[in-house]
Structures are given as structure tokens and as C-alpha cells.
Chains A and B, each alone.
Chain A
Amino acid sequence: MMLVVIAIVVWAVGWWVNVRLANGPASDHTGVKVLIPLIFGLTIVIVWELLVRGFEVNPVILPAPSAIIERLFSEGPRLWADFQQTIIKGAMTGYVIGGLAAFGTAILADRSDFLTRGILPVGSFMAALPIVGIAPIFVKWLGSDWESKAAVVAVMVFFPILVNTVAGLRDTGPMQRDLMRTYGAGYWPTLLKLRLPAAMPFIFNGLKIATTLALIGAIVAEFFGSPTVGMGFRISTSFGQLALDMVWAEIVIAAIAGSAFYGLMTLIEKRVTFWHPSQR
């Protein structure tokens, strides 16, 4: 019971510090902007640990953060192998293939207004579908190794990137296009110098949406058949052994990988679209 009381106190202190920081004079300072969510996250972890110990929660239902961190260190090599199998081979390969295919299709479709009008609604429709459902079919076709995961990921990321790229290529005003024509620029110079750069914010929006899809696709596809390595495989087998701390360790890895992937895309976007109002 003592631990539960401490947990409530920790929560109150963390919240109070954040209130002071957010409403204080330095609240727009970059350091403070990073510090506040950090304090918030740390309070949650400490409160979680104290509550699990205080209420003696069964580790099968919710393991303590300390147990999860211990697993992260003790199972390092195995987690690294899973990470390579699922994220590097499955998700990344699929992401690149799907992205390039979507980009190529968008450029081709963009040549004709007719095709563009056809592809946008169909693409948006496909992007909203439960594409994860194709995972068992792909595992059957391409075997259980990473090739099938890459294929599922490629199909999943294809539509959001396609729709965003096509929409972005239409995002130039008639005034800008007329200016290019007065300079005597043909289709390709106009595409490379005006329309592609103008489409970049849209393209990156598609790429960022696709990062999370890629991770989910690769992990879920492993539930339907995988070699004896991979995050999806490990999650389902560890869960079968009631080793929930291992499951959570994989979740932490996936969350870090997902955030890093998303952050990387945001960084590249900042460098490429430095001219856009949202980046100033």
C-alpha cells in the first residue's frame, strides 16, 4: 500500500513540475520543450513500476518496467537478430520497393489527366482497405522467409505514397505553370524544376504515413508463418510461453525503431522542403 501512495505522490510531483515549466517564463525554450515530455514519460514509468509492485500484479498481465529493461540487456543478441530479420529485411525492403513502385506509377499516371482522375479515388479507396488480410495469402505464395513480409509491406505502403504523390504533382498553380511555359520549358524541365519540388511536402506526408504501416505489416505478416527468427515470431512464441517481459521488450524495440524511422523521414523532409511555410 505504501508503494501505491508513493506512486500517487510521484505522479503529483511530476505533474506539478510540468505545470510550473509549461506556464513558466522559459516554456518556449527548446530544452524545456524536450524536458516536459521526458518528465511526463519518466513519471509514467515510475508510477507503473510502483503500482505493479504495490498491487502485486501478475507479471503475465503486466510486467514491471525493470523486468522489461533487464530483458532488453540480457537478450540483446537475440533481439538484434529479430530486428534485422523483421525491420531491415522485411520492412525496409518492402518500403523501398513499394515506395519506388508508387512513385513510378504516379509519374506515369501524371502524364494524363484522365488517368490521374481515375487513380486518385481508386488509390484512396485501396489505402483504406484492410490490406493486412493479404498477409496469409502472400506467405502461401512466397514462402515464410522475409520475401513474403517485404511483399506485404510493399503493397501496404504503395497506396498512401501513390495517392499523396499524385495529389502533390497537381499542386501547382496555373500561374507557375504558365511561367515555366514562357521560359520555353517542356514537360520534363517543368516536372523536375517546378512540379516535383512543389510535390515534396505531399510525398513526405505519404512516406511518413507509410513508416508505421511498414512496421505493422512486417510484424503482423510474421504471425502467419516465419522462420524461427523475427519480431512477430518472437512476440507470438514468447506470449505462448507467458514470457510477457520479452513481448514488451520487442514492443519497446518496435516503438523505438518506428519513432526513429519517422524521425528520419521528418529530418529529410526538413532538409528538402526548407522553403515550405510549415518548416519555418
Chain B
Amino acid sequence: MKHGKWPLIVTFLVPPVLLYVFFVVSPYLQAFQISTTDWLGYSADANPVGLANFKALWHDDYVWNALKNNVILLALVPVLTIVLGLFFATMLAMGGRKGSAGVTGVRGGALYRTVYFFPQVLSVVIIALLWKEVYHPNQGLLTSAAHAVGLPAPTWLGDPATAFWCVLAVMVWSNVGFYVVLFGAAMSAVPKEIYEAVLLDGASRFTTLRRVTLPLLWDTVQVAWVYLAIFALDGFILVQLMTNGGPNFSTDVIGVRMYDTAFGSETKFGYASAIGVVMFFLTLSVAVLSLRIGRRERIEYS
């Protein structure tokens, strides 16, 4: 293996490393530096201002408002998505209960999984634009459904009281299918004998789920938690396309704040990068925290 390996290593590794360092590593490093300047975009002068941007952030009510929304998303989106995902995955894996193993999948399970998963492959842009029409105050699917059953319909995305919840619902809608498939895969890795033994002991379906399936799935749930938390801290494209943070900033999130600051009416690149840096540390701490809190003893089969 030794002879002549260097030409290959060099030709195979240098181009990807160059590309990666140029477009990925260097922007990340620059972002930290830019966040300490007062750079206003297209002009050449960027003066170092130390932590002034971060100080201004601290007193920026719009940022706090956006952050508050992100925190609500962070508290609700993972919980709702994981609960629904677990619920449907359980239904699919154990809806039927017959045969020697005691639990079997529900009939047509493969079809359900296929359908549920589909939103996951759709572009976020399509999901956002489609749901914007579903929520349309005149001819939207929801409004007309409400009218059909004689209910008054709010203006959904047009009303500060409902807009945020409408966006949140779309976030959950687009994610659940993915977790049904993920949890389903984890469930099918649990040996059948365990269920057989539990069934012989006379455990009910609910007990089986709470006492057997969930603990065995804990690793997967925890990973799902981290990913959904990161998703909830972002939420940028959905919000930008559906409401652009409005009405009256009721759906604003940090991502939209940052994008507006950088590419909106003013190009406050220094300030935007500071928001980016804060987002970076928030994401990092949320990921580390959820891994810490969720840590339990690992269960291995065999």
C-alpha cells in the first residue's frame, strides 16, 4: 500500500480542502471578526468597535421579541413533533397485536410511512408558499372548511393573535413524518422476544409503550430532540416566506432579524454578524444542554 500513495493523497485531498476552506471555514472565521466592527456593508471602512454591537443587541427590543418567539418554538415544536412522531410510529409498529410475537405492524404501514414522509423531501419554499395559500383569508382551504361547518374563521396569518401558531403548526406538520420513520426504524430494531415476554407477563399496550419501548428508544428520541431544537432556533425560511415576521412582529424570529439587518433596507453587516454569533452560541448551548440533560444509561441489545 505504501508505494505511490502520495500522488493520490495529494490529488484527492487538496481540491476539496481548498474549496472547503475557501467557502466554508474562512466565512465562519470572518463572521466573528466582522461582528466586532461597525461595518455598514458596501463601503470599505469597517472600524473595530469591540463589543459595542453585542451591547446594542442587549438593548434591542426587536431582537428580544424575536428571541422570545424562538424560545416558544424551542419549547413547543420538539415536544409536539416527538409526541406525535412517537404516537404514530407506535401505532404503525404495534397497532396490530396478534401472532406469536404479540405485536405486529398495522396493515398498510408501508403506505402510511411513505405518505407521512413526503413533506420532508419537499422544499421549504414550496411548503411555505403552499401553506400561505391554505391559510388564505378568502379562498384558503382552512377558511372555507371553517365556513363550511359554520365556524367563524380568523384571518390566520393576518392576525397577530393567530399568525404565530399557524406558523408553528406548519413546522410540526412538515417534521412529524420524518420522526415517524426514524422512530419506526428504532422500534423495529428492538428484539421481538422482549415484547413476547412482556405480553406473557400480561402488560397492557400502554404499559408496554411506557415501560419497554420508550426506554429502549431513548437514544433516538434524544437525537431527535437536538435536531428539532436546532430547527426551532432557525425557522427562518418558513417565517420569511409566510409572514416575513409580521403582522406587527408577532412571528419574528432571530433568523429573520439577522437577514433583515444584513440584506434589508440597511446593510448593517457588523450588527448582523453579531446576531449570527449569538445564534451560533445559542445553537451550540442548546445542543450541548439537551445532550447533557437527556443522558441516561445506554441500553444495548444482544
Task: Verify that A and B bind, or say they do not.
Answer: no
Task: List residues of chain B with CB under 8 Å of any chain A CB.
Answer: none
